[in-house]
Amino acid sequence: MKRKISFEFIILILGALVVFIIGATLFARNSINNVTKLNLEQYLEIIEIDYESGLTETEIVERYQGLKNYLRITFIDSEGTVLVDSLANDLDNHFDRPEIQELGKTFIRKSTTLNINMMYLATQLENGHYLRVAIPTASILQFLNDFIGLSIFIGIIIIALSILSSSFLINQSLKPLIAIKEILQSVNQGEYDEVMTIDKYEEVNELIKEINVINKAISSNISSLKSEKLKSDFLLNHMNQGICVLDQEGKITLLNQYLKNLYRFNIDININKDYRYLFRDDDIQLVIKKAYENKINSNIIVKVKEEYFSVSINYLEKDWANNSSVILIYTDITANRSVEMLKRDFFVNASHELKSPLTSIIGSADIIIQGMTEDEKMTNDLVSRISQEAQRMNNLVMDMLLLSEYENKKNIAKKQRVNLPNLVEDVIKNLEVQVKNNQISINQTVADLEVWISYEEIYQLLKNIIENSVKYGKKDGNVWIDINTGENSLVISIEDDGIGIPKTDQSRIFERFYRVDKARSKSTGGTGLGLSIVKHIVLNYNGSIELESEEDKGTKIKIFLPKNELGI
């Protein structure tokens, strides 16, 4: 309340000061313009008298040479040609100037000759020539700036004094309410203290008397109840399990912080309401209903958002109020379930991936053993196939082992200073055969930089991505490698103009064993684990990956590795 009153008071003062400064500035500016206009008219009249007395234009300009920084004098003939000007020579035709077109009227504009703002006034002499005088507006602006600065300074003083005075007055006015508030807070903590009546504020004394009567009666009860509640709340809200208690009618009587956060439950609004306000899952509702009907205990696994929980539903004959109730206990099993699913998927995928090469090896070996080969060439072809499939199996097993190490962070790689241009050259040299076969042009822009990183990891990262760009690039295509530093990260960008990745597959390409083009991937010896390995290397360095791809146009993968992870 005090803060709100003070804030509104300050806003009111600020508004008044702003209005005053703007109004005063406009008024001062108008007054100064009027004074300047009067000066111009007087100068114009004096110079006109000098001219009529027989002085030439040049003599008049020379006569007022001492005022050249303040007063500009210009004589113009009837055709607009400048005869003489006190501040400039070789001027263009001035007949189109507004002050010449509208004689006797002042104009404030920027001089194209002097490149400064001036106030102009002109008149026509008896011989048809024009006399023009002008005064720079810089002197006006200086006064206005001084005036505004002084006004702001005075305004700051007024605001400071207003804040101090308003704070004092507000504090004095709120003293009785603050005193009552402090006493009520002490009562809420189980402490009793009598509120003294205030002679100066008779209006609140009746309220104070009533408060004193209530304080004494409830302070001791509040103290003991609050102590017990704090103990139970502390235990319930610091558990790593969710607990909910339903009364004999199925209404929520207790809910710990774990479940409040899990279901975003507003305890103040929904306490003592039916359990279906909290549990919207049909399976849980059915199990709770059976617990009440059959008086049994049961267990169920449920999914909330992306997490899995084992929920124990226990029926109690008597609770603390000697009534029947149901207790639900939530235990998070997400990690265990995720591990189980990963293991299951891994074995299924690994078995599937190993089945094809094993089948090919066994079939080829059986043909050779049974002597079914027609000639030596056929035998050599079968032996070559066995070798290729064995190599494929070996690549697959090595990639699985490597991925497992990265996933479990068991591969504690030794960091060293790695020169990025040399590293990229090593990777390209390793892929030289594939690049040549596909007639790919490698375009690279690599910063001459050394980073503190595991050579093996950064090599694997670059090799897997570049190899994919070469494999899935079009013949006679291009691969662009760009490695440079950003604001907070080392940015690795690898782009190709190959077949691209369909939108439906882009969210899954970093999964293990996932292939966009399965036939092409197997024909090129791919294991489906390369990008998954890349993902885990990046995650181990707290980095991130961005993917841009369009079918038949190409793919770009950008990797951001934090500089603080690389010693940059």
What 3-state DSSP class applies to 214? helix
Residue 300 gets which letter from DSSP?
A: E
What are the residue ranges in the chain where pLDDT is below 70? 1-7, 9, 20-21, 24-25, 27-29, 31, 138-148, 151, 170, 172-208, 211-212, 216-220, 222-223, 225, 337-356, 388-413, 512-528
CA pair distance 542, 536, nearest whole angstrom: 10
The DSSP annotation for 442-462 comes to: EEEEE-S-EEEEEHHHHHHHH
Q: Which structure tokens are listed for 287?
A: 């199990």
CA pair distance 455, 467, nearest whole angstrom: 17
Topology (CATH level 3) of domain 338-408: Helix Hairpins (1.10.287)
CB-count exposure of residue 260 (10 Å: 0-12, 13-18, 19+): middle
Please report where in the chains the tokens 């190490």 appear, as a residue: 405
pLDDT of residue 502: 87
User: How crowded is the C-beta side of 479, counted as CA atoms within 13 Å?
Assistant: 27
* E strand map for 50-179: 72-76, 82-85, 107-110, 117-124, 130-136
What 3-state DSSP class applies to 85? strand
Domain 239-332 has CATH 1.10.10.10: no
Every domain of the chain with CATH number 1.10.287.130 lies at 338-408
Helix axes 420-430, 455-471, angle to 10 degrees: 50
Topology (CATH level 3) of domain 415-566: Heat Shock Protein 90 (3.30.565)
Class at the top of the CATH hierarchy for domain 2-143 = alpha beta
Every domain of the chain with CATH number 3.30.450.20 lies at 2-143, 239-332
Every domain of the chain with CATH number 3.30.565.10 lies at 415-566
